[in-house]
Amino acid sequence: MRSRLFFANMSTVVRRALLILARGAEEMEAVISADVMRRGGIDVTIAGLNESGPILCSRNVQVQPDMELTEAQEKGTYDAVVLPGGAGGAKELSSSAQVGKILESHWKAGKVIAAICAAPTALLAHKICLGMKVTSHPSVKSEMEANYSYLEDRVVIDDRLVTSRGPGTAFEFALAIIEMLCGKESANKIIPPMMLKD
């Protein structure tokens, strides 16, 4: 598939991903995504929305971002923007004009946009990729299906847009991002050490 091999011919270059962490985010989706992408060779910046200190996530786990989002923006354009879900986190992402501008500029620049669980609602809120194929957590399906081509696959890829369903699909979600940015070989080689099922 063209979408899966979008950046594969440039796999020798270190790719950069911006993961935006908001209060109320689903911590599994944030940490698993960042961890797996880093294992796959992606330079991941975890950026706190509106704060640089520890962020309280949906299950009362605090996650320390690398820096605040405005500081992360100063480092230029990333190869992928990644949005973890969680109902509270998705609302924060949806209501942030800063997030909307980042998503719009990166999409227009030909970069990957990835959102999991409830986070695809932020795409809807900022009118990103309307009409494209997506999935999400079932709890926000009704919000999404009127404006997108909605599927219930565990991970859905449409061109440079990657969406997924929830904590249990976070590994597959992150691996799909690695495959798009670094190629299938980079994704496949980290599966055995993590003891993931085929």
Task: Give per-residue pLDDT as tens, 68-85.
Answer: 999 999 999 999 999 999
Instruction: Parse the chain into domains and list their residue ranges.
Output: 3-191
Q: Where are the extended beta strands (E) located within the chain?
A: 16-21, 43-48, 55-56, 62-63, 67-68, 80-83, 112-116, 133-134, 149-150, 155-158, 161-164
Q: Each residue of 90-134: pLDDT tens digit?
A: 999 999 999 999 999 999 999 999 999 999 999 999 999 999 999
* CATH number listed for the domain at residues 3-191: 3.40.50.880
Which sequence positions are flagged as catalytic?
117, 137
Tell if the pTM clears 0.85, that is, is over it. Answer: yes
Between CA 103 and CA 112 the distance in angstroms is: 9
